[in-house]
Amino acid sequence: MADLMEDPITGAASAQDTGKKTHPKKLRVVPESLRKFREIHVLAEAGGPPEKIAAQKAKGKLTARERIAYLTDEGSFQEIGLLMESRCTDFGIKDKHIKGDGVITGFGRIGGRPAAIFSEDFTQLGGSLGRTHADKIAKLMDMAVDARIPVIGILDSGGARIQEGVDSLDGYGEIFYRNTKASGIIPQISIILGPCAGGAVYSPALTDFVFMAKGLSHMFVTGPEVVKAATGEEVDFETLGGSMTHASKSGVCHFVANSEPDCFRQVKELMSFLPQSRFENPPAQETKDSADRRISLLEKLCEVDPRKPYRVNHIIWWLADDHKFMEVHHDFARNIVVGFIRLGGQVVGVIANNPAHMAGALDINASDKAARFIRLLNNFNIPILTLVDVPGYWPGVAQEHGGIIRHGAKLLYAYAEATVPKVTLVLRKAYGGAYIAMSSKLMGGDMNFSLPSAEIAVMGPRGAIEILYSRQIKEAKEEEREALRAKLAKEYSDKFASPYQTASHGSIDEVIEPSQARSRLIGAFRLLAGKRRPGEHAHTGNIPL
Ligand code: HXC
């Protein structure tokens, strides 16, 4: 049996066999204005022409609109600026009447909380950025700052729209300016899901977090062809600016995803740790994980040789509520580990030396990585937990000439500047300048604990005795030197290779029972929770370091 349906645009009846017995419906005439409105919206929402959408799919990519659907809570997205078009009269751009000008902008909910989102549409003029495209993003960012909600950008673009000349360059200018002004006020997240070339890379670089997906995302200031022409180097897209390059070498990328859906899942998880703006606290979550859960792993740590490497992630997992740790910058400067956990339900940012990599020593990249993360935590009212096991700064000409003094100073600055609650736990070694840098008491640590296995000293026993007893060691007979060294090192260790001298001077507040570390840390953060009311601190911004 045929059923008469109303076409949403024309209002005309169409037949559909539903098998049901019905009476023909009286058809309403759709007013012209409504018909036009619906027609425009259907066309505008379709994005680029079918062949461009097919090409996008063939590359294994989602469309700009599908991406928003993955990211936001179902049915929550409200678009603004769908009908905006380019005003560029050159190259016939205006006559193409591209609705939205290659970018979708609007507001949606993620995990129930509002966020501003823009998603570049590669199927329309290659997602290139013209002035209208930029104006839409800028307007969205202004609204997000006013509304105190995060901005998430999904980038898939050929860069500055060549046909619009300096107008498109200026468009980037207005975005970079807003990225900087909004920095530290609202979280800004960039998701690269296609090309991001030329000066366009600097908008993501100014934001707090950059996500890339394996095989889909590429970022570079100059592409392989320009590199070849300028330097003679031959390099492919992936090696030059793929996700793993930026995650492990340049440090531009904080999170690598295996696919687009995996990427959106990670973004949502990250957002669950962040407040909506610097005027809020991060969202707490109830946990059934007991605050008193004993950490037997830390008892074992007291037994192991101080030089034995281990992954500090294991300790973080054991300390965290429900063993959940969202690591940031996993593949970059692996000698330091940073990320988010919850302790007793409250979000805490962790900074931890990682003895599994370069013995956990501090170097240029580790200093930059940790310093920027600390500044982000401070901006967004997230307390800081520092886990210390550091033999010092990584030695070498490359580090000295590369500016370890300048970069290392950023870490000191960030810790001293941070006014959020700061709790430190010394696990094992804490030597020299690196001991001071890692949120030591006199650098402003609020509560400084150590395990009984901690060794806090100017340097390790072997290095110290070579300086203190160089004459005696030189004068000793060749065959007696090693025994003398061992004896002197033991004497030095007995005196300094423990936390007790430091505790007696008050630079460690308490040496704690290792198995009680979780409950002691939760207690300390609860005690310090009122240290600073949200939004009270001066705004500093999260400058890329
Ligand atoms: C205008 C562009 C464009 C651009 C791509 N398109 N980039 N249109 N301006 N910057 C158009 C193409 O002409 C094509 O249009 C469509 O987008 C798809 O592009 P393809 O080349 O067919 O796609 P693909 O093979 O996937 O290659 C993608 C690409 C390549 C790698 C991004 O298009 C490319 O190299 N583009 C230029 C990248 C670049 O150098 N940008 C930097 C610009 S300078 P049709 O009509 O054929 O479908 C810059 C400076 C900013 O950004 C400075 C800020 C301060």
- Residue tagged active-site, from 115, 434, 437, 497: 434
Q: What type of residue is 543? A: I
Closest CA to 122 of 97, 172, 157: 157
- Residue tagged active-site, from 11, 165, 199, 402: 199
The pLDDT value recorded for residue 462 is 84
- Residue 235 and residue 323 share a domain: no
- Residue 471 and residue 339 share a domain: no
* Domain span at 489: 461-496
Boundary (domain end) residue, out of 271, 288, 321? 271
C-alpha of residue 39 to centroid of ligand 1, in Å: 29
Which residues, judged by CB distance below 6 Å to any ligand atom, belong to the binding site of ligand 1?
125-126, 128, 158-163, 169, 172, 195, 197-200, 223
The pTM for the full model equals 0.92
- Residue 221 and residue 74 share a domain: yes
Return d(Cα 355, Cα 390) in angstroms, integer.
7
Kindly report the protein residue whose alpha carbon is nearest to atom 1 of ligand 1: 161
Percent helix / strand / coil, the chain, rounded to 5 = 45, 20, 35
C-alpha of residue 266 to centroid of ligand 1, in Å: 28
Asked whether residue 21 is assigned to any structural domain, the reply reads: no
The pLDDT value recorded for residue 362 is 98
Question: What atom in ligand 1 is closest to the CA of residue 173?
Answer: 55
Boundary (domain end) residue, out of 271, 288, 312? 271
Helices (H), 232-286: 237-241, 243-244, 260-271
The pLDDT value recorded for residue 5 is 46
- Residue 437 and residue 326 share a domain: yes
Asked whether residue 138 is assigned to any structural domain, the reply reads: yes
- Residue 92 and residue 231 share a domain: yes
Kindly report the protein residue whose alpha carbon is nearest to atom 53 of ligand 1: 199
**Does residue 354 contact residue 317 with C-beta atoms inside 8 Å?**
no
Asked whether residue 46 is assigned to any structural domain, the reply reads: yes
Instruction: Round to the nearest angstrom and report the end-to-end CA distance of the chain.
Output: 69
| DSSP codes joined into one string, 364-428 | HHHHHHHHHHHHHHHHTT--EEEEEEE--BPPSHHHHHHTHHHHHHHHHHHHHH--S-EEEEEEE
Asked whether residue 26 is assigned to any structural domain, the reply reads: no
- Residue 364 and residue 338 share a domain: yes
- Residue 153 and residue 64 share a domain: yes
- Residue 205 and residue 93 share a domain: yes
**Does residue 386 contact residue 416 with C-beta atoms inside 8 Å?**
no
Distance set, CA 537 to CA 295, 528, 540 (Å):
35, 16, 9
433 is catalytic: yes
- Residue 467 and residue 447 share a domain: no
Kindly report the protein residue whose alpha carbon is nearest to atom 46 of ligand 1: 125
C-alpha of residue 61 to centroid of ligand 1, in Å: 17
Number of domains in the chain: 3
**Does residue 101 contact residue 133 with C-beta atoms inside 8 Å?**
yes
Asked whether residue 398 is assigned to any structural domain, the reply reads: yes
Which DSSP state fits 342? E
Q: What is the mean pLDDT of each run of 10 residues along the chain (545 residues)?
A: 46 50 70 92 91 96 97 97 89 85 97 98 96 97 98 96 94 98 98 92 97 97 93 96 97 98 98 97 96 95 89 98 98 98 98 97 98 97 97 95 96 95 96 95 96 90 89 91 91 85 93 97 96 70 94
Question: What atom in ligand 1 is closest to the CA of residue 176?
Answer: 55
Q: What is the dihedral of CA 382, 388, 393, 398, to 10 degrees?
A: -60
- Residue 259 and residue 329 share a domain: no
C-alpha of residue 233 to centroid of ligand 1, in Å: 22
C-alpha of residue 263 to centroid of ligand 1, in Å: 24
Helix (H) or strand (E) holding 343, with range, is strand 336-343
Question: What atom in ligand 1 is closest to the CA of residue 223?
Answer: 40
The pLDDT value recorded for residue 507 is 93
Asked whether residue 6 is assigned to any structural domain, the reply reads: no
The sign of the dihedral angle between the CA atoms of 279, 285, 290, 293 is: negative
Beta-carbon count within 10 A of 344 CB: 19
Q: Which residue among 131, 162, 202 has the greatest number of ligand 1 atoms within 8 angstroms of its CB, and so is best to mutate?
A: 162
Kindly report the protein residue whose alpha carbon is nearest to atom 38 of ligand 1: 158
Return d(Cα 402, Cα 148) in angstroms, integer.
39
Closest CA to 222 of 237, 207, 209, 211: 237
Up-side HSE of residue 493: CA atoms within 13 Å toward CB?
15
- Residue 344 and residue 223 share a domain: no
- Residue 465 and residue 446 share a domain: no
Residue 437: exposed, middle, or buried by beta-carbon count in 10 A (0-12, 13-18, 19+)? buried
- Residue tagged active-site, from 198, 242, 251, 392: 198
Return d(Cα 317, Cα 209) in angstroms, integer.
22
230 is catalytic: no
Asked whether residue 537 is assigned to any structural domain, the reply reads: no
| 108's tokens | 């949606």
Kindly report the protein residue whose alpha carbon is nearest to atom 23 of ligand 1: 126
Query: CATH code at 360?
Result: 3.90.226.10
The pLDDT value recorded for residue 23 is 62
Asked whether residue 350 is assigned to any structural domain, the reply reads: yes
C-alpha of residue 254 to centroid of ligand 1, in Å: 25
Kindly report the protein residue whose alpha carbon is nearest to atom 12 of ligand 1: 126
| DSSP codes joined into one string, 69-137 | HHHSPTT--EEE-TT------GGGTGGG--GGGGEEEEEEEETTEEEEEEEE-TTTGGG-B-HHHHHHH
463 is catalytic: no
396 is catalytic: no
